Amino acid sequence: VAPIRTQVAIVGAGPAGLVLAHLLHLRGIESVVLEARSRGYLEQRVRAGVLEAPTVQLLCDAGVGERLQRESLRHRGISLRFDRTDHHLDFVALTGRSITVYGQQEVVKDLIAARLAAGLPLHFEVADVRLRGIETDEPEVAFTDGDGVHRILAAPVIAGCDGFHGVCRPQIPAGRLTVFERDYPFAWLGILAKAAPAQEEVTYAHSDRGFALASMRTAEMARLYLQVPPDEPLEDWPDGRIWDELNARLAVEGSAPLNVGPILERGVTTMRSFVVEPMRHGQLFLAGDAAHIVPPTGAKGMNLAVADVAVLAEAVERFFATGDSALLDGYSVRCLRRVWRAEHFSWWMTSMLHLAPGADAFERRLQLSQLRYVTSSEAAATSLAENYVGLPYGS
């Protein structure tokens, strides 16, 4: 079969790959997106839920924010619970900006719909993705399409948007990337339940039983998390135990218990901090989780993926318009500034809120002191708030 020729080959149709494809289309640049999973799988995969202000702005400016504007929940801030007391942080008062609750799979649905409606190429259920010649000017992506046909995609620029477990990053020769990594001695057990959220805003709880988080997707759908040991078997957590533990950890003086409902989805997520430098090798540009992972405590992962491809789209546009690769050459350095800010914020939120195995009273006192500080000092609260709502692009 003759090779498919395009300007940008995009591996992965998560938030990074789909937003990139859309931004390129708006700039008149052709791309082909290759995705290992089916459309149905992507649209059901429950993941992130909190969008930063700059992410919302970008999606709306790009013309894919219509349903988001209509159906998302706009929140003024978050709550931090400790010492069995609720402490509200009002981000709008502190920074003038709010956060938006809208499921990642809803963002993905909107972007897939926009791409297919425009008749643009998006191949689901591809396999055997292999990169060739990424150190040359004529790189290629070999793959097997959903019908089992072997194909070649030839494109001057390849975007590795295939997530942490993808195939692009491992094809960069050993020794060309520096890896920075931290594992955490705990995981999150997450559930999606058909139950009205008991809290008005996203609520993070520090407790002697471990961390818990109460979030939501809609007025009828709660998204809840419990800190558990790494590799915790789900079988050890029948529904009753999950609800009891959430109630025990989230309880504050005088609070009503959570609304209980059927659990529609459940899973255990490992926690990791991970960055590769540079986010590029030859003509391969890594974006999103393919290049960096944050623990979910700061709600930064999806937002970082979108921020990366905003930079990449601009650089690619310049390259194809003028042949000038200065912005492509600066891609990694520019992204990594934001990445490391989010890495720090996510690590800090994680360390402040979780119960590390073997933590002694000294560490617990430090956590409580920090929690009291960020909920009582306007300067400290503003620092948390500006990171959480998302620092402006380019800062």
Report the distance separating Cα 159 and Cα 17, nearest Å: 8
Q: Which of 16, 21, 24, 50 binds ligand PHB (CB under 6 A)?
A: 50
> Is 145 exposed, middle or buried, given 0-12, 13-18 or 19+ CB atoms closer than 10 A?
middle
Please report whether residue 202 would count as binding ligand PHB according to CB under 6 A.
yes
> Which residue of this chain has its Cβ atom nearest to ligand PHB in the complex?
49
Q: What is the smallest separation between the CB atom of 276 and ligand RFL, expressed in angstroms?
A: 13
Please report whether residue 223 would count as binding ligand PHB according to CB under 6 A.
yes
Residue 297 interacting partner from ligand RFL, ligand PHB, none (CB closer than 5 to 8 Å by kind)? ligand PHB
Q: What is the smallest separation between the CB atom of 33 and ligand RFL, expressed in angstroms?
A: 9
Query: Helix crossing, 301-322 with 15-26: angle to 10°?
Result: 30
Q: What is the smallest separation between the CB atom of 126 and ligand PHB, expressed in angstroms?
A: 28
Active-site option among 102, 184, 204, 225: 204
CA 133 to the chain's CA centroid: 30
CB 240 within 8 A of CB 228: no
List residues near ligand RFL by CB under 6 A: 11-17, 34-37, 42, 47-50, 104, 126, 129, 161-163, 166-167, 188, 190, 269, 288-289, 296, 299-303, 305
- Within 10 A of 102 (CB to CB), how many other CB atoms are there? 25
Indicate the residue among 192 and 198 with the shorter CB distance to ligand RFL. Answer: 192
Residues in the chain: 395
Report the distance separating Cα 207 and Cα 355, nearest Å: 8
Indicate the residue among 166 and 296 with the shorter CB distance to ligand PHB. Answer: 296
Instruction: Please name which of 314, 306, 288 lies closest in space to residue 8, comparing C-alpha atoms.
Output: 314
- Within 10 A of 151 (CB to CB), how many other CB atoms are there? 18
**Span 233-292, contacts to ligand PHB by CB under 6 A:** none
- Is-catalytic flag, 238? no
- Is-catalytic flag, 204? yes
User: Count of residues binding ligand PHB (CB under 6 A)?
Assistant: 9
**94-96-101 Cα angle (round to 5):** 95
CB 90 within 8 A of CB 5: no
Report the distance separating Cα 286 and Cα 169, nearest Å: 7
Helices and strands, counts by H and E, the chain: 11, 21
- Is-catalytic flag, 102? no
Which one of the spans 178-186, 274-282, 296-304, 369-377 is the region binding ligand PHB (CB under 6 A)?
296-304
Q: What is the smallest separation between the CB atom of 350 and ligand PHB, expressed in angstroms?
A: 10
- Within 10 A of 270 (CB to CB), how many other CB atoms are there? 13
- Is-catalytic flag, 300? yes
Indicate the residue among 31 and 104 with the shorter CB distance to ligand PHB. Answer: 104
CB 34 within 8 A of CB 10: yes
Which one of the spans 10-18, 91-99, 295-303, 363-371 is the region binding ligand PHB (CB under 6 A)?
295-303
Report the distance separating Cα 129 and Cα 239, nearest Å: 39
Indicate the residue among 32 and 50 with the shorter CB distance to ligand RFL. Answer: 50
Instruction: Please name which of 111, 99, 121, 102 lies closest in space to residue 5, comparing C-alpha atoms.
Output: 121
Q: Which of 12, 15, 17, 49 binds ligand PHB (CB under 6 A)?
A: 49
Q: What is the smallest separation between the CB atom of 296 and ligand PHB, expressed in angstroms?
A: 4
- Is-catalytic flag, 393? no
Active-site option among 139, 206, 296, 331: 296
Q: What amino acid positions are annotated as catalytic residues?
A: 75, 204, 296, 300, 388
Contact residues toward ligand PHB (CB under 6 A) are 48-50, 202, 215, 223, 296-297, 299
